[in-house]
């Protein structure tokens, strides 16, 4: 579709937004949201007719791009036949979505509890773990994001927790491995892995193993920097959890459904958690949906004892029909393989090549359609381009980088001193190269802020 300029309509959308929409994570008077007129595939456009290549997949959810005709048609068809129905009933779209998801999740994660998104999935996974074990505490990592509801924001290991932190009962943070900014001062992946596992063991010992219900980790932490764990780390955590009877929860809300070039990031490490949370890519974000995939043992806990949790819209037919269509499209079009291939052939080599030429790039890491560039002032000291949690003037170098990318028709994902390259998993080679060329020019602006 060719975007048709209609600035007057855009101005009306913007005016109503500014008057009445209260935006997430924002100082309401300091933001200037772009009025979006439409989207298709890997692109969206504004009312001026300016098109942007979306290197963010929305909030890392449009894994098959915008407006896929088969998913749009499935939602329309579901709306025409049964647009809503309460969760206590067996409904075709819901049971089919659960079957398709359970068939793809690892091991015996065969029962699906549906939510409206990721945070609710995390809330329910921790609730299930606590009830299953009868223990109160949950361990989660610094440099993590698990959502913005009460337990989820407290589990989160980034600054968004701070203003929300009322000392949530039983949440304990630990350090997960991250060699580039190693909390353990390691100098190799092997050492980082070993020290991180020892640190987790020590944390468990000092917290009291019999008080710990769950360890929750993002398989590959996303928002906090796409930090692929060293080989052996997740298998080591699995072993520690087994030894102490602790439930192992993997949060695949961002990394799941093809994003990393496999159905789930856990598939790269051949690790099966006891509970796995998902959302976003499950239906490419077309209708809100998330959930928890549950192991046989935990499902058994609630076989004859009611599970004390539920949501009015759990397994909403429109959302589930979108999931069924999305998963079928992913199979038919080989989207998981496309994500793996674009990472191997274009994004990985292209980003590494940019890193060679741009002094502002400290590290490139990722896999599939899931990459991060760590932007630094100084490659030697690894001092970030902007300080941790910078805002206002202190954040000016990242703001300049972002503006430069947008001016060149690329919508970048920016978090602190990083830009993440997280386009739709089915982005074409030509589109990916177009994005890399724009990124190249924007990085020259970031370079001006290096020493
Ligand atoms: N968990 C992870 C790993 C996430 O990346 C997110 C969102 O980005 C969430 C949970 C929260 O999901 P939602 O915003 O749908 O509640």
Residues 6+ apart with CB under 8 A from 380: none
**What ipTM was estimated for this complex?**
0.99
Closest Cα partner for 294 from 280, 311, 307, 284?
A: 307
pLDDT at res. 167 = 64
Q: Is the CB of 91 under 6 A from ligand 1?
A: no
Q: What sign does the CA torsion over 128, 132, 136, 139 have?
A: negative
Q: What is the CA radius of gyration of the chain?
A: 22
Paired tokens of 219: 């398989």
Cα–Cα distance measured from residue 8 to residue 88, given in angstroms and rounded to the nearest whole number: 46
Q: Where are the domains of the chain?
A: 7-67+335-447, 69-333
Write out the DSSP string of 351-403.
HHHHHHH-TTEEEEEEETTEEEEEEEEETTTTEESS-TT--GGGGHHHHHHHH
Pocket test for ligand 1, best of 60, 62, 119 (most atoms within 8 A of CB): 119
Residues 83-110 have pLDDT tens digits of: 999 999 999 999 999 999 999 999 999 9
Q: Is the CB of 157 under 6 A from ligand 1?
A: no
Q: What sign does the CA torsion over 229, 213, 156, 187 have?
A: negative
Q: Is the CB of 117 under 6 A from ligand 1?
A: yes
Provide the 3-class DSSP secondary structure of residue 361. Answer: strand
Q: Write the DSSP symbol of residue 184.
A: T
Evaluate whether 154 touches 165 at the Cβ level (below 8 Å): yes
Residues 29-40 have pLDDT tens digits of: 999 999 999 999
Q: Is the CB of 253 under 6 A from ligand 1?
A: yes
Evaluate whether 445 touches 371 at the Cβ level (below 8 Å): no
Evaluate whether 260 touches 284 at the Cβ level (below 8 Å): no
Question: Which atom of ligand 1 lies nearest, measured to the CA of 290?
Answer: 15
pLDDT at res. 2 = 67
Question: Which atom of ligand 1 lies nearest, measured to the CA of 221?
Answer: 3
* Burial class (CB within 10 angstroms; exposed 0-12, middle 13-18, buried 19+) of 201: middle
Q: Which residues of the chain, if any, have pLDDT below 50? A: none
Q: Within 10 A of 255 (CB to CB), how many other CB atoms are there?
A: 29
Give domain 7-67+335-447's CATH architecture.
Answer: Alpha-Beta Complex (3.90)
Q: Is the CB of 218 under 6 A from ligand 1?
A: yes
Q: Is the CB of 259 under 6 A from ligand 1?
A: no
Cα–Cα distance measured from residue 259 to residue 64, given in angstroms and rounded to the nearest whole number: 10
Question: Which atom of ligand 1 lies nearest, measured to the CA of 255?
Answer: 3
| C-alpha 186 – ligand 1 centre gap (Å) | 29
Provide the 3-class DSSP secondary structure of residue 259. Answer: coil
* β-bridge mates for residue 376, sequence order: 384
Evaluate whether 59 touches 223 at the Cβ level (below 8 Å): no
Evaluate whether 386 touches 395 at the Cβ level (below 8 Å): yes
pLDDT at res. 219 = 98
Q: What sign does the CA torsion over 345, 346, 347, 349 have?
A: positive
Cα–Cα distance measured from residue 21 to residue 15, given in angstroms and rounded to the nearest whole number: 10
The reply to whether CATH 3.40.640.10 applies to domain 69-333 is yes
Per DSSP bridges, beta strands 247-251 and 171-174 are unpaired
Paired tokens of 401: 């980088």
Per DSSP bridges, beta strands 137-141 and 171-174 are parallel
Q: What sign does the CA torsion over 326, 261, 268, 61 have?
A: negative
- 148: Cα within 13 Å, side-chain hemisphere: 7
């Amino acid at each position: 579709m060719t975007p048709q300029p209609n600035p007057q309509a855009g101005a009306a959308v913007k005016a109503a937004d500014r008057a009445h929409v209260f935006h997430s994570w924002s100082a309401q008077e300091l933001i200037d949201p772009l009025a979006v007129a439409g989207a298709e595939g890997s692109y969206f456009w504004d009312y001026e007719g300016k098109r942007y290549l979306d290197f963010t997949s929305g909030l890392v959810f449009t894994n098959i791009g915008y407006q896929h005709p088969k998913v749009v048609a499935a939602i329309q068809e579901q709306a025409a036949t049964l647009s809503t129905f309460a969760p206590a009933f067996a409904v075709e779209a819901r049971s089919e979505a659960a079957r398709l998801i359970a068939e793809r999740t690892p091991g015996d994660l065969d029962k699906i509890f549906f939510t409206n998104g990721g945070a609710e999935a995390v809330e329910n996974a921790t609730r299930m773990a606590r009830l299953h074990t009868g223990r109160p505490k949950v361990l989660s990592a610094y440099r993590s994001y698990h959502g913005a509801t009460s337990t989820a924001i407290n589990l989160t290991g980034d600054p968004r927790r701070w203003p929300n932190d009322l000392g949530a009962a039983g949440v304990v943070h630990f350090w997960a491995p991250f060699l580039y900014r190693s909390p353990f001062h390691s100098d190799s992946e092997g050492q980082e892995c070993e020290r991180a596992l020892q640190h987790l063991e020590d944390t468990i010992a000092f917290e009291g193993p019999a008080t710990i219900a769950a360890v929750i980790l993002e398989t590959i932490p996303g928002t906090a920097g796409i930090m692929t764990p060293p080989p052996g780390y997740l298998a080591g955590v699995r072993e520690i959890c087994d030894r102490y009877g602790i439930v192992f929860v993997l949060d695949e809300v961002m990394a799941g459904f093809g994003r990393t070039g496999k159905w789930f990031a856990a598939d790269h490490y051949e690790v099966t958690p006891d509970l796995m949370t998902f959302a976003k890519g499950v239906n490419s974000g077309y209708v809100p949906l998330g959930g928890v995939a549950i192991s046989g043992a935990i499902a058994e806990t609630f076989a004859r004892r009611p599970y004390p949790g539920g949501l009015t819209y759990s397994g909403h037919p429109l959302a589930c029909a979108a999931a069924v269509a999305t998963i079928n499209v992913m199979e038919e079009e080989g989207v998981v393989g496309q994500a793996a291939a674009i990472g191997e052939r274009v994004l990985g080599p292209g980003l590494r090549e940019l890193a060679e030429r741009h002094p502002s790039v400290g590290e490139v890491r990722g896999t599939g359609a899931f990459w991060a560039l760590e932007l630094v002032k100084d490659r030697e000291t690894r001092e970030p381009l902007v300080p941790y949690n910078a805002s206002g003037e202190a954040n000016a170098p990242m703001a300049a980088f972002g503006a430069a990318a947008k001016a060149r028709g690329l919508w970048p994902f920016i978090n602190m001193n990083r830009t993440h390259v997280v386009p739709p998993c089915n982005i074409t080679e030509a589109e990916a190269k177009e994005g890399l060329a724009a990124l190249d020019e924007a990085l020259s602006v970031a370079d001006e802020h290096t020493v």
